[in-house]
Amino acid sequence: MTGADGGLDESSPSVLPILMTEEAIYGLILVSGMIVVAGKGASLAVLVTVVVTVLVFYAAHVYAGAVARLAESGGKASPAASLAFAARESSGLLVASVVPVVILLLGTSHVIPDVVANWAALIVNTIMLAVLGWIAVGRWRPRFAARLLGALIAGSFGVILILLKAFVTH
């Protein structure tokens, strides 16, 4: 949904506001990195590695965010409110991992071969990074060249990890 100014309505029930966060972009890069590291194994091993790593990073991010919020408040914020705020702020890490986890599940359940699932998850993550770069820069500067540059920069993180998988881990 868009607001009156043509920008994204942050109160929208859409997941797009969650994906327009540094945590979501970081989550996609984290998942891709874990697929590269664990990618020689079966999809189940890759899936477990990705899920456990994302959950640990999410918990660590929530903890760090809550502690930082408590410290910034000088003792005025409640621990529960700080924790809830940090959990919401960090949710992009979890949301961004859903699509690649579903792809890895397809490999685990033998709907598609393991190697296809691993590569597909990496490629889809790269496309998602590029799309998020396109959208995010478009919110700031709607010119085509700026949006294209944003997409190329964001997507390049995924491309680097794909190259790493192709040339280093095989």
- Residues of 98-119 as b/e, b for ≥16 C-beta within 10 angstroms? ebbbebbbbbbeeebebeebbb
pLDDT for position 40: 74
pLDDT of residue 152: 97
Question: What's the pLDDT score for residue 162?
Answer: 92
Give me the tens of pLDDT residue by residue for the chain, a chain 170 residues long.
Answer: 344 444 444 454 577 777 778 888 999 999 999 999 887 777 888 999 999 999 999 999 999 999 999 999 887 889 999 999 999 999 999 999 999 999 999 999 999 998 999 999 999 999 999 999 998 898 888 899 999 999 999 999 999 999 998 887 65
**Residue from 99, 119, 112, 97 nearest 163 by CA:** 119
Residue 130, amino acid: A
pLDDT at 3: 43
Closest C-alpha to 37, from 153, 125, 118, 93: 118
Cα separation, 170 vs 153, in Å, equals 26
Confidence at residue 116, expressed as pLDDT on a 0 to 100 scale = 93
Residue 4 pLDDT: 42
**pLDDT for res 91:** 92
- Residue type present at position 82: S
pLDDT at 15 (0 to 100): 73
Where along the chain do its domains lie?
18-164
